[in-house]
Chain A
Amino acid sequence: MRVPRYWRNIPFRYRLVGWRCNHCGTFHQTKPITCKRCRFRDFTEVELPKTGKLITYTVVRSPPKEFSFTSPYVIGLVELEDGTRILAQITDFQEDELREGMKVEAVFRKIRVNGEQGIIEYGYKFRPAIE
């Protein structure tokens, strides 16, 4: 990972800010030229809701090397309040606490470590929400 690539994506990774197509409503994480679904070229910057529900999840047990410091970890498919579905790491849960359909909320966390000399990358994860 090189710094410019990480820096470029900060709006989505820190605040879940992206771009919604003004014609079909498809969400894009970075500002697109053309909507991937309808090819419309007009977008509105949106901040996604920070809460949603856990559709389903799995546990990554032999991760890529950038994630070995945090292995094993949980990857969830989250449906946000506005219906947008995103993939996220799930964190801060007690053993056996995770349930499909449970409420989750976004938190800011350390995501990746690129070796001893490399940059440490931060971004969003989701955790069980207090109901």
Chain B
Amino acid sequence: MTPVDNMARSGPDPQVVKQAINWMLRLRNNRANLRLQTQCEHWREAHHEHELAWQRVQALQHELNSQLSAIPGAHMALENSAQRLGRRQALKVLSGVVLMGSAAWVSRDLTGWQRWTSDLATATGERRSVQLPDGTRLQLNTDSAVNLDFNAQQRLITLVRGEILVTCSTEVSAPLLVRTREGLFEGIDGRFVVRQDSDCTRLSVATGNVAIHSPHTADGLSTQVHAGESYLVRQTEAVLAPPSDMDVGAWADGLIVTRNMRLADFLAEVGRYRHGYLGCAADIADLRLSGVFRLQDTEKLLAILPQTLPVRLHYRTRWWVSLERQV
């Protein structure tokens, strides 16, 4: 190969590039070492490829360093976004498999399934409703994920994150179980909502009955939960929840229904359905809000707020919205 051909190729040999990088890093950590500097200069002079690789590596290093060190928050932004991007890619691979699998099982009749497992997930802002092979209807709220394991002994739904609404099918005798980080629940009949919060599970029964098997009562018994009741469940105990300022399960109809709800709590709830930051100034956090809001378009939902409360929306970007007191 002639030298001209060699230059026309894409550039220095990979080994030479790696050597150049090693020289640079060694020098950076031994700035005062004159002998090392001389050795490096000899290496650069030994071949024009060495010098070219050296120049490029220096330029790259300088570019990255000058840009990144000047941006406050760059490290956190790059690290966090890389992690989330990785999770998102992994998640979508899973849900792709589910979509393909679902076509196969949806058409099967009730007697067709013996053992069946699957994973379902929704993205932020997405809601999804599926009919399971036993006839149970499962609705996933925004940013939720479940693993399903159905066999002749039990129908187990593991809520990994988020919130589900279960409408029990009673045509099958195997118990219908929902497991969360904190507890194990059995849907006897009717409809109920299970929500995984950061520090506890919230169980709300709309119609019918649910039993809390774990954690059990001090007597070692299951707690029976009836229509209209909500329980807060932690590792050690399940306690009756105070009345909610929001209609549990309204999301399944695409709504948030509030009664005298704090603005800050309301925004935290709406924030589950959108990306980015949504918050309010401290001096308006305790304003109260009652009404029926559509989840379909949270931009529109937010735009309504200044009509009912003395607040204004401050859009820094599409993903950064803060509410302030209207002056």
Q: Do A and B bind each other?
A: no
